[in-house]
Homo-oligomer: A and B are copies of this chain.
Amino acid sequence: MAIEVRVQREPFDPAALLPAGDGAAGAAVLFAGQVRADDGLSEMEIEHWPGVTEERLRLFAAEAAERFGLLRACIVHRHGPLRPGETIMAVACTAPHRRAAFDGAAFLMDWLKSRAPFWKKERGPWGERWVEAAPEDEDALGRW
């Protein structure tokens, strides 16, 4: 079982997180989150808690691997300024079968959304504003 976590300022190619088939993983699920240009958004800025973020993400990935029997769990998350269309973060999970790979990736996304120390600020024609936590993101944790 392999776990890989990266928190970085630099852009990255989410497709590169998909592993080559190894004969054990029958299923790979890759999630990529991208900056939407809602309401004329021109820039998003992501703040995080260096050190603690990585530790949390590793914990979530280990929990997901254990719970769903993942063969591999990988999380890459950017911080700093991002433009519309840019990839903010990506999660990749492999498992013998599809349900585990889907559940692993969805579980990681739900935890990452509300329990990893990231904060987003948006800039646009309206000035700048901090993104507020969505109640449905908190609710999403309830299903795990």
Q: Give chain A's interface residues, CB within 8 Å of chain B.
A: 14-16, 18, 20-37, 84-87, 96, 98-99, 101-102, 105-106, 109, 140
Inter-subunit contact B36/A18 (CB<8 Å): no
Inter-subunit contact A33/B27 (CB<8 Å): yes
Total copies of the chain: 2
Give the one of A14, A31, A32, A87 with max B CB within 10 A.
A32
Inter-subunit contact A34/B25 (CB<8 Å): yes
A18 partner, pick from B15, B33, B37, B102, beta carbons under 8 A: B15
What is the distance, in angstroms, from A111's C-beta to the closest C-beta of chain B? 12
Give the one of A33, A98, A140 with max B CB within 10 A.
A98
Which residue in chain B gives the minimum CB-CB distance to A18? B15
What is the distance, in angstroms, from A21's C-beta to the closest C-beta of chain B? 3
Inter-subunit contact B21/A35 (CB<8 Å): yes
Inter-subunit contact A105/B33 (CB<8 Å): no
Which residues of B are found within 8 Å of A27, using beta-carbon distances?
31-34
What is the distance, in angstroms, from A83's C-beta to the closest C-beta of chain B? 9
Which residue in chain B gives the minimum CB-CB distance to A32? B28
What is the distance, in angstroms, from A108's C-beta to the closest C-beta of chain B? 11
Which residues of B are found within 8 Å of A20, using beta-carbon distances?
85
